Amino acid sequence: MDNSHTDNDSILDRVLHSQQTDTLEHFEPMEIITELFKQLNPKEADVLRRRFGLGQNETETLEAIGQSYKVTRERVRQIQRWAIERLRTAERTKALLHGLDALIQQLLDERGGLMLEEELIQHLHSHASKTLAGRAGTQFVLQELMSDKLERVESEQWKSFWKLKFANINHLGELVKLVESIISQHGKPMNWDDLWKSIKPRLPSSLQQFSDLAIQGAVHVTRTIERNPFNEYGLRAWGSVVPKRMNDKILLVMRKHGQPMHFQEITKKINEIGFDHRQAYPPTVHNELILNPEYVLIGRGIYALREWGYKPGVVADVLGQILRQASQPLTRNELVDQVLAQRMVKKNTIHLALTNKKRFQRLPDGRFTLAQAPAENTKQSAT
């Protein structure tokens, strides 16, 4: 078998990856901006820094900059336009951005021609200093100096993303409807591997050419599908994906943990994840657990989800449920084992509950059954 094609592809992949890594390791947005702005006069550089937040301050309006220079806002706009045009067409700019240009082209090509803005910036900044000015510098380069190759898209339907100028994105709507349908049928969040396994066999012929990575990139830009803090995909409207209420957060934490948790442990986990800027407090979490029937108290401050098969009630209630389901007497050890699967209590607590003769009867062979309800005396009234 001829493996030359595969080997060549592997070598090319390694070379491209090495080039990507080298570009990222040397990418410092503000250093590039400083070098680029050496082609401008001081006023032009100052206007661009202030307009695009490329210094220590936030972006400034045309009017504010005009007042400081005692010129009209239109004059500031004109300076801005000329300065950007000079940068965009300069050979020095092309040389400085060549590696970055090739990297972005490759990243977007791998993802079907588009990439969520936040993911693109995070990728580019993987080795760069994480500053607001640096982020602004990257956005300036993308939007103002690469506009002949890149286009930024944002709408009510799509999150902000970058696409190659001539990339066709007509497939997005059809693809998103397919993924929404799969997630809705599944009924709960899915990790990407499981979601991709469901997507792949249902892809229409018009979408067969898109890779796993390209389809994932497309899913990331829609506003209707979101990832929860555990990187699971679901509908944005679901509390298990974008939790808003305290109950949503508790459920998500407990389902991910997969076993009973103390209310203080739940509180700590909610704050560690940081769903939003609101701090969770133990009394608030405990109160939600007490009031909501989805949770079952199984030990001192320890709760489980009813959906895991736990039944509400005290130890005597659990014993009663076990005996009713068994439909036959059980030994004390059998009862203890089954109760301990439902409750985190001491064995003596279970032994004590079994002494309640109104609810349980000990048979001569030592096994237990439910106590027989006393027969009611019925009186017939003469008519």
pLDDT at 370 over 60: yes
Distance of CA 79 to the CA centre of its chain: 42
Answer for the pair 244, 262: CB distance below 8 angstroms, yes or no: no
Q: Rounded to whole angstroms, how far apart are CA atoms 208 and 308?
A: 39
Q: Rounded to whole angstroms, how far apart are CA atoms 133 and 306?
A: 49
Answer for the pair 275, 269: CB distance below 8 angstroms, yes or no: no
User: Which residues, listed in sequence order, are joined to residue 227 by a DSSP beta bridge?
Assistant: 233
Answer for the pair 191, 175: CB distance below 8 angstroms, yes or no: no
Angle (deg, nearest 10), helices 192-199 and 172-186: 110
pLDDT at 382 over 70: no
Check residue 200 and give its pLDDT.
Answer: 94
Q: How far is CA 80 from CA 142, 186, 187, 244, in A?
A: 16, 52, 51, 42
Check residue 26 and give its pLDDT.
Answer: 65
Q: Rounded to whole angstroms, how far apart are CA atoms 47 and 53?
A: 10
Kindly report, residue by residue over 260-282, the tens digit of the pLDDT. 999 999 999 999 998 888 999 99
Answer for the pair 310, 304: CB distance below 8 angstroms, yes or no: yes
DSSP-derived 3-state class of residue 302? strand
Answer for the pair 162, 103: CB distance below 8 angstroms, yes or no: no
pLDDT at 379 over 70: no
**pLDDT above 70 covers what percent of the chain?**
89
Global confidence as pTM: 0.73
Q: Rounded to whole angstroms, how far apart are CA atoms 383 and 381?
A: 6
pLDDT at 22 over 70: no
Residue 248 is inside which H or E element, if any? helix 246-257
Check residue 131 and give its pLDDT.
Answer: 82
Answer for the pair 236, 224: CB distance below 8 angstroms, yes or no: yes
Q: How confident is the model at residue 99 (pLDDT cuts 50, 70, 90)?
A: confident
Mean pLDDT calculated for residue range 7-35: 64
pLDDT at 380 over 50: no
Q: How confident is the model at residue 58 (pLDDT cuts 50, 70, 90)?
A: confident
Q: How far is CA 126 from CA 18, 42, 119, 161, 177, in A?
A: 15, 31, 10, 18, 32
pLDDT at 383 over 90: no
**pLDDT above 90 covers what percent of the chain?**
71
Kindly report, residue by residue over 148-187, the tens digit of the pLDDT. 999 999 999 999 999 999 888 888 999 999 999 999 999 9
Q: Rounded to whole angstroms, how far apart are CA atoms 313 and 298?
A: 9
Answer for the pair 315, 351: CB distance below 8 angstroms, yes or no: no
Answer for the pair 126, 24: CB distance below 8 angstroms, yes or no: yes
Pairwise pLDDT comparison (24 vs 248), residue with the higher score: 248
Q: What integer best gives the mean pLDDT of the chain?
A: 88
Mean pLDDT calculated for residue range 299-324: 92
